[in-house]
């Protein structure tokens, strides 16, 4: 039992030792290989590193950035006197070295700031620890691609807006300076109609987004909508598109004429039926009256009386009637 406990303790100690950054750490750096940089604006080079000396405070670490050909040609050093004149007051670290963050910011970018730039870390001596060590990550340097003009924002939306219905347009622009993000503005819209967002697209590249939602009216048809991007360093670009409005379907313009037509047809049909019926009745009555007026009166035929039967009686009145006929 005691041997098993000792074996377990040894195993736990070995596991802790191999898990410790003192043993697991090594000289490594993660740096963007290539980034776009807008001239007169700014650029941020993301950088992180590890070293084999465990967790050290920022005061025990000294980081510098230099040209790849010569580590003495420094573009950043906490001692500004060691920085090349052309880079003084234009560079700084955005992270803490004690948190393994070596991110570099360059402002007022010049067209010759193309690099390559490399990072170097130094372990600083103390009174109790006189060990000192430097390591330059020459295999992980960054190159900058100089942009003389700012990129234009991209606008996306549906091709046609519907009148009196919410219409959303998105404006976006890509950049490499998250410490001084570009500002997107619209040619129309209030603060309540606009939403701003940003996100990281890939290592070192960011996207700024602005979303505009408004209710288009009939007068907005063929109007122009412009999104403007203002970058750090007073660089400006814009994109414009035409808004096309589709009139909303209003069913009252269809239903009302239809109902009027139906009612008119019913009334007209009723009138026609009434007139026809009245005409037929009048015609029948007229025919009956004419028949009564012009028909001969029917009288007993003289043949009903046999004058030769030897009877001496003669009805002279009847003879006169027939005689008048």
Q: Are residue 183 and residue 208 in the same domain, yes or no? A: yes
The answer as to whether 253 is a domain residue is no
For residue 142, pLDDT beyond 90: yes
Of 100, 116, 147, which closes a domain? 147
Q: Are residue 177 and residue 231 in the same domain, yes or no? A: yes
The answer as to whether 6 is a domain residue is no
Nearest to residue 61, comparing CAs of 161, 139, 157, 134? 134
Measured distance CA(311)–CA(263) in Å, rounded: 81
Tell me: the pLDDT tens digits for 32-79?
999 999 999 999 999 999 988 888 888 889 999 999 888 899 999 999
Residue 302 phi, psi dihedral angles, 5° rounding: -60, -20
Report residue 134 as tokens.
């430097």
Q: Are residue 142 and residue 159 in the same domain, yes or no? A: no
* Stronger pLDDT, 19 or 230, i.e. the higher one: 230
Please report, for the domain that includes residue 62, its CATH number.
2.60.40.10
The answer as to whether 283 is a domain residue is no
Tell me: the pLDDT tens digits for 279-296?
666 655 555 454 444 444
Q: Are residue 28 and residue 111 in the same domain, yes or no? A: yes
Which long-range contacts (C-beta less than 8 Å, at least 24 apart) are formed by 65-68? 65/91, 65/104, 65/117, 65/118, 65/119, 65/120, 66/117, 66/118, 66/120, 66/136, 67/115, 67/116, 67/117, 67/118, 68/115, 68/116, 68/117, 68/118, 68/138, 68/141
The pTM of the whole model exceeds 0.85? no
Q: Are residue 57 and residue 29 in the same domain, yes or no? A: yes
Q: Are residue 135 and residue 71 in the same domain, yes or no? A: yes
The answer as to whether 142 is a domain residue is yes
Average pLDDT over residues 119-131: 75
Measured distance CA(147)–CA(214) in Å, rounded: 34
Of 212, 246, 280, which closes a domain? 246
Measured distance CA(227)–CA(157) in Å, rounded: 13
Q: Are residue 37 and residue 115 in the same domain, yes or no? A: yes
Q: Are residue 140 and residue 179 in the same domain, yes or no? A: no
The conformation of residue 231, written as its DSSP 8-state character, comes to E
Measured distance CA(96)–CA(88) in Å, rounded: 20
For residue 24, what pLDDT is reported? 42
* Stronger pLDDT, 180 or 274, i.e. the higher one: 180
Report residue 295 as tokens.
């028909």
The answer as to whether 193 is a domain residue is yes
Average pLDDT over residues 83-108: 95
Of 116, 147, 178, which closes a domain? 147
Instruction: Say how many domains are in the chain.
Output: 2
Nearest to residue 116, comparing CAs of 91, 139, 141, 135? 141
Q: Are residue 211 and residue 160 in the same domain, yes or no? A: yes
For residue 295, what pLDDT is reported? 46
Preceding amide of 116 cis, omega within 30: yes
For residue 264, what pLDDT is reported? 75
Q: Identify the band that residue 305 occupies on the pLDDT scale cut at 50, 70 and 90.
A: very low
For residue 120, pLDDT beyond 80: yes
Q: Are residue 118 and residue 164 in the same domain, yes or no? A: no
The answer as to whether 5 is a domain residue is no
Tell me: the pLDDT tens digits for 249-264?
654 455 666 666 777 7
For residue 63, what pLDDT is reported? 93
Range of the domain at 202: 154-246
What count of other Cβ atoms lies within 10 Å of the Cβ of residue 41? 22
The answer as to whether 68 is a domain residue is yes
For residue 251, what pLDDT is reported? 47
Do the bridges between strand 235-246 and strand 160-162 make them parallel or antiparallel, or are there none, so unpaired?
parallel
The answer as to whether 105 is a domain residue is yes
């Amino acid at each position: 039992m005691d041997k098993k406990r000792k074996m377990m303790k040894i195993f736990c100690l070995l596991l802790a030792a191999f898990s410790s950054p003192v043993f697991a750490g090594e000289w490594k750096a993660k740096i963007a290989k290539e980034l776009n940089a807008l001239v007169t604006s700014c650029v941020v080079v993301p950088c992180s590193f590890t070293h084999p000396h465990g967790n050290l405070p920022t005061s025990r670490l000294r980081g510098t950035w230099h040209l790849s050909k010569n580590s003495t040609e420094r573009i950043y050093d906490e001692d500004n006197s060691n920085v090349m004149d052309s880079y003084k007051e234009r560079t700084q670290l955005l992270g803490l070295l004690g948190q393994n963050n070596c991110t570099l910011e360059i402002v007022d970018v010049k067209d010759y700031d193309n690099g390559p730039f490399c990072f170097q870390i130094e372990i600083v001596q103390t009174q109790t620890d006189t060990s000192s060590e430097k390591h330059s990550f020459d295999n992980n340097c960054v190159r900058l691609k100089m942009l003389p003009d700012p990129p234009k924002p991209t606008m996306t939306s549906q091709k046609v807006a519907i009148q009196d219905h919410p219409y959303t347009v998105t404006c976006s622009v890509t950049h490499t300076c998250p410490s001084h993000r570009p500002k997107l503005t619209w040619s129309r819209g209030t603060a309540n109609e606009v939403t701003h967002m940003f996100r990281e697209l890939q290592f070192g590249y960011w996207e700024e987004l602005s979303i505009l939602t408004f209710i288009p009216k009939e007068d907005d048809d063929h109007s122009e909508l412009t999104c403007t991007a203002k970058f750090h360093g007073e660089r400006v670009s814009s994109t414009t598109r035409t808004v096309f409005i589709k009139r909303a379907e209003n069913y009252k313009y269809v239903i009302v004429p239809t109902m009027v037509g139906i009612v008119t047809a019913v009334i007209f049909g009723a009138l026609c039926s009434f007139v026809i019926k009245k005409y037929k009745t009048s015609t029948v009555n007229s025919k009956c009256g004419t028949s009564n007026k012009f028909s001969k009166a029917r009288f007993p035929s003289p043949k009903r009386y046999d004058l030769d039967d030897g009877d001496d009686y003669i009805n002279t009145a009847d003879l006169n009637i027939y005689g008048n006929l």
